Structure 1
Amino acid sequence: MREFGGGAVCFAGVGSPLNKVVGVGFGGVPSVGEWEEVERACAEVGVAVQVELSQLADPRIGEMLTGRGYRLVSFENVLGVELGGRRWEVPEGVEVRRDEDEDLGVWLDVVVDGFAHPDDEGVPSHEEFPREAIAAVMRDMASTNDTRRYVAYRNGEPAGGASMRTGGGIAALAGAATLPAHRRNGVQTAMLSTRLTEAAAEGCDLAVITTQPGSKSQRNAQGRGFSLLYTRAVLVKEV
């Protein structure tokens, strides 16, 4: 990972979901030469250049990228909710527990299985990844000391998993997935409610989450009080 245009260029291995340019446009507009350098580096390792471009970034970047052959493939919504010491109720029939298991077993299995079988309701994701790539990302994420892991149980069985990181008064909710057999039964809502209540109790002011526009995840978040903060365009160039 290296700094780039106020954001960063990230590479975590061929096939990783983390290979992308993020946060660009908040620290100046990268030059043509700087984009060419990123494109050459990606070509050398055989991955496409994927840019997550916020609507709040310098608008000249979008024009530059489309002129360089980048194509729009998707959008992502970043939503937020003020916490203010509130509590959120967990739906009946679902229990959410913190996962402290050092081998990540149950949490990793349920999250990887959930992401490997995307929910087909709403706008489909523009990308899919093999189980091995998803598992590698989740292990890396869980290895950071400030990542908290959660497992949801329904009828006594693991039904979903999620994570949360807090810092600077902000709770970042991520990594939420539900097994197909347990979808539409309040599992996502339970995991959201548990994390929000925990973050509020610890003094966080704001919680944020990223969703696909129109997805079930977005509707669940809005049902818990989230509203849109900004949208990111996802642009890709094969190199």
Structure 2
Amino acid sequence: MGVGIMRQVRQQPKTTVDRTTARRLEMAEEFACVYVTRAHRRLRAGSRAEVLAIAGGSACFIERGSPISQCIGCGVSSPVSNAEIEAIEEFYWSRGTQSQMVVSCAFAGELEEALRERGYEQIEENLGFVRPLPLGTQCAAPAGYILRELHEDERTTWAKIQAEIFFADSEEGAAFKPTAEVIAQAEGYRCYVAVAEATAEIAAGGGICIVRDGKIACLAGAATYPSHRNHGLQNALLQYRLADASAAGCTLAFVSTLPGTVSHRNVERQGFVEAYERVVMAKRPSDVHRR
């Protein structure tokens, strides 16, 4: 039996897409996590990376504390049962980490409610944005910079930018850097850089994951070193990635951002429209799993 609706969590959640399109978008995000998880298992000796296909989505685990270690895609196509939630919890708790689920609010409100009743807490809210492809825009690089795809021998540098910018050079950043190197080698992923012509140093980086089955490009990893900001690099890299995705046959581009951020404003300027809200819900292991 599916989870029943006890009360409405969000009144008339904002959405501009239908359930079918939402499922395509969430599927693409789901596959992006699955591809990285599989790559981690393939590339890292002793990796405990694992994927559990469940409830129409996938529970992915790489390691404790990894942003990839989350369940995504559940509840969009059909209700999620209590037994399935328990199985997801067991999957994560048996690996010593919190159970973390991404919930599409517009189409899985009953799942959000069920998780709250089980003691889950909201740890993040983000907005999903979508835009059609192909593009009609030019992809000119800002003066003094070159835009191009990442070279194989630059993966470590690209990963360093991602880790330092997103985690403010913290311990979490140091822990994420090896995963970022895996992302650069995962199925479907293409990584890009902006290079300063004067010094030949990488100033900014970004990536996309192309999910060919759904013809969707998921954008991620837009990061610029502080010394190279305010030159329009992120907008330029965004246009460059979208053009490449269009050339690869994608018909939609999807990105999730935190509300009110620079990334939020950048994607709106590039023609993205808000598709729906998403929340990340988490619950720590129970006492029985801590022992």
Matched ranges for 1:132-143 at <5 A: 132-143=174-185
Q: Partner of 1:125 in structure 2?
A: none
2:150 maps to which of 86, 99, 110? 99
Higher helix share: 2
Q: Partner of 1:221 in structure 2?
A: 267
Q: How far apart are the structure 2 equivalents of 1:222 and 1:141?
A: 26
Matched ranges for 1:10-89 at <5 A: 10-89=60-139
- Which structure has more relative contact order (CA 8 Å, sep 6+)? It is 1
Q: Does the residue aligned with 2:267 lie in a helix, a strand or coil?
A: helix
Higher strand share: 1
Give the total of aligned pairs.
230
> Gaps (5+ residues) in structure 1?
119-127
2:237 maps to which of 188, 191, 196? 191
Q: Could you tell me how far 1:85 is from its partner in structure 2?
A: 4.1
Judged with a 3 Å threshold, the aligned counterparts in structure 2 of structure 1 residues 21 and 169 are, in CA distance, closer, same or farther, namely: closer
Matched ranges for 1:106-145 at <5 A: 106-117=157-168, 130-145=172-187
Q: How far apart are the structure 2 equivalents of 1:148 and 1:103?
A: 13
Q: How far apart are the structure 1 equivalents of 2:80 and 2:152?
A: 43
Q: Partner of 1:153 in structure 2?
A: 195
Detail structure 1 runs of 4+ shifted over 6 Å in the superposition: none
Matched ranges for 1:162-177 at <5 A: 162-166=206-210, 167=212, 168-177=214-223
Q: Partner of 2:56 in structure 1?
A: 6
Q: Could you tell me how far 1:145 is from its partner in structure 2?
A: 4.2
Which has the larger displacement, 39-48 or 70-79?
39-48
Q: Partner of 1:124 in structure 2?
A: none
Judged with a 3 Å threshold, the aligned counterparts in structure 2 of structure 1 residues 179 and 60 are, in CA distance, closer, same or farther, namely: same
Q: How far apart are the structure 1 equivalents of 2:150 and 2:268?
A: 26
Indicate if the aligned counterparts of 1:98 and 1:151 stay in contact, CA closer than 8 A. Answer: yes
> How much is the aligned-residue C-alpha RMSD, in angstroms?
2.2
> Gaps (5+ residues) in structure 2?
1-50, 286-291
Judged with a 3 Å threshold, the aligned counterparts in structure 2 of structure 1 residues 52 and 98 are, in CA distance, closer, same or farther, namely: same
TM-score of the superposed pair, with normalisation by structure 2: 0.72
